[in-house]
Chains A and B, each alone.
Chain A
Amino acid sequence: MSRNWQKKSTISLLIGLLLFLVPAFVKSSYILHVFVLIYLAIIYTVSLRLVLANGLLSFGHGAFAGIGAYASALLMMKVGLPFLLSMIIAATLSALVGGLIAFPSLRVRGAYFVIFSWAFGEVFVIMYKRLKGIFGGASGLYGIPGPSLFGMTFTSKLAYFYLALALMLITVAVCYRIETSRFGMIIKAIGNSEDLAESVGINLPRYKVLNFSLACFFAGIAGTFLAHYTHFLSPEMFGIGLSESIVVFMLVGGGGNILGAIIGATILTAIPEILAFTSFYRMIVYGAILILTIIFLPGGLVSLPQLVRKRGAPGQAPPSRVT
């Protein structure tokens, strides 16, 4: 293995370990709650990157979190399945629905896919609202049990913190492996040129559907956790607000890099929480940040150090402004 790779994995391991130690220093359950939200945002964002790598932008990622959330809640409440099993079944259901949706929709590209994914997400919001008997309607689904693992029921914030952390680390590790695998390379190649990829024998629907399903699986995992964490679900939690936030996290952090996705999710989750924006202002601020990023920092926050280095170099013209 290359030196660079060793360095990278050592640093990631250290950061992972440090995160496990956070509760030793932070006693405020509110701060731990913010950490949990950040971990969920990272799962959403890192998994959405799989779709972006394929050259597609989905404004329906939140809906797949919703499928996981509602499915797992109902599986525990109505069927009485244990937490771990219901989590895996629910996330698999997200992946399956993702695959079913992807199959016809992947024929459309660019802006058409964006619109399709958005519309798809809204269909689910309406379904949760209308089917009161199953999903609790507009007033939501109450009394969702907390998770229990190996006979222990989760009661403290700490337990949730560690579960969310573990799920986040697994998701990041698996998504990173996917990105650096041959599969990830094929996905990127398809994003570059579908025609050329197909001409050398790549079965486009198979790869695109599988990739979209994988992304939906992780969104489903995060949604499942959310259901058993908040004990309450409402249709709007998984509407365009969430889907748009995930896209903003990804693009502001920098879609070209997994680290960018993590940075974007972390900063844009932490800041509004700390400043206590209402969700209405949050969407406006996100929109403004997104526009500013695309104009002035197209590579996202993760490209900032590189840009600063460039600008600091002597004898170099200032970068031209995008107009």
Chain B
Amino acid sequence: MPLLELERLTKYFGGLPAVNNLDLWVEEGEIVGLIGPNGAGKTTVFNLISGYLPPTRGRVIFKGEEITHLKMHQVAQKGLVRTFQHSTLFTELTVLQNMLIGLHLHARLGLLGDVFNTGTARSEKRRLEEKAQDLLESMELGRFRDQPANSLTHGYQRLLGVAIALAADPELILLDEPATGMNSEESKVMMNHIRSIREKGITVLLVEHSMKVVMGVCERIYVLSYGEKMAEGLPQKIQRNQKVIEAYLGAEYAAGG
């Protein structure tokens, strides 16, 4: 049984199909890429899976259970967490506080104990802080813990975005263009992190524009075009697929990239 399965998933925006009859599956432990030209509907797919948008038709099945009509916070509770395309962070909070919010589903705190800071609440807050600190260290963000999140450079902001999602302790993480706007050095760092995420036993589904990143980390790739699946398979196979080259890779690869 695949970890995630999409069955004929469809989303119309005012009569136009953004995603059309998409069948897709992700096995536990895989790193799968979802690519396609701009406007192909990749982010819409993420929005449908994560419960940010309701689909027009079709089903989303996670761990054998239908999650099609759950809200985003309920999907997160099931163990499926996504990141966002733009650097979406809690900008007025510190880096550590961003992580503490990421740990929301693991906090065992009552409102009264929290507000009046009782002994048990204090020790729970300490436990969460240690966990947040550990996660920051593992993403090499430890030294920024007390800085406001929006003071980080772009590359570190992207990393923090991934770290927040990881704090929720997901079984499947959806990464929406994690390496966007990164130089090649930063991209390499991000690729290493993506690999180590999988080593922790977390399955990865990834939308990404940088072909270096996609071909470098993904074991299997789906190609979307105009909301429909155009091709799927191993990276080597996708790179040689004539239709894909024409529709998407063309310019970049013909130029020797």
Contacts and interface: CB of A to CB of B under 8 A. Distances in A.
B203 interface: no
Nearest to B174: A199
Interface in A195-236: 195-204, 210
A196 B102 CA distance: 9
A51 to B, nearest CB: 16
Contacts of B72: 195, 198-199
Given A182-B109, A185-B93, A188-B92, A196 B77 contact: no
B84 A192 contact: no
Contacts of B105: 200-201
A300 to B, nearest CB: 16
A201 B117 CA distance: 23
Given A185-B101, A199-B82, A177 B117 contact: yes
A198 B75 CA distance: 10
A19 interface: no
A178 interface: yes
Nearest to B102: A200
A193 B76 contact: no
A34 interface: no
Interface in A151-181: 174, 177-178, 181
B73 A204 contact: yes
Contacts of B50: 199
Which secondary structure dominates chain A's binding surface?
helix
B92 A181 contact: no
Contact of A177 (B91, B92, B116): B116
B93 A189 contact: yes
Contacts of A174: 115
B90 A196 contact: yes
B93 A196 contact: no
B154 interface: no
Contacts of B102: 200
A186 interface: yes
A203 B168 CA distance: 14
Interface residues of B, number: 36
B237 interface: no
Interface in B28-81: 50, 52, 71-73, 76-77, 81
B90 A193 contact: yes
A188 B92 CA distance: 8
Contacts of B88: 193, 195-196
Nearest to A200: B168
A240 B92 CA distance: 31
Contact of B164 (A186, A188, A196): A196
Contacts of A198: 71-73, 76
A183 interface: yes
A188 B93 contact: yes
Most buried by A among B81, B90, B93, B164: B90
A188 B77 CA distance: 21
Interface string B100-115: 1110110101010011
Most buried by B among A174, A188, A189, A191: A189
A181 B114 contact: yes
B209 interface: no
A178 B92 CA distance: 17
Given A182-B100, A188-B92, A203 B73 contact: yes
A180 to B, nearest CB: 8
B125 interface: yes
A99 B91 CA distance: 27
A189 B165 contact: no
B125 to A, nearest CB: 7
Contacts of B167: 200
B90 A188 contact: yes
A189 B91 CA distance: 8
Given A192-B93, A196-B89, A201 B77 contact: yes
A183 B114 contact: yes
A205 to B, nearest CB: 9
B20 interface: no
Contacts of A200: 76, 81, 101-102, 104-105, 164-165, 167-168
Contact of B115 (A181, A189, A202): A181
- List the 10 shortest-distance A-B pairs measured between CB atoms, nearest first: A201-B76, A201-B105, A192-B90, A189-B90, A198-B72, A200-B168, A189-B101, A181-B114, A181-B115, A196-B88
Given A177-B117, A199-B84, 11 more contacts: A181-B114, A181-B115, A182-B109, A182-B114, A192-B92, A193-B88, A196-B88, A198-B76, A199-B50, A201-B105, A202-B104
Interface of A: 174, 177-178, 181-183, 185-186, 188-189, 191-193, 195-204, 210
Interface of B: 50, 52, 71-73, 76-77, 81-84, 88-93, 97-98, 100-102, 104-105, 107, 109, 111, 114-117, 125, 164-165, 167-168
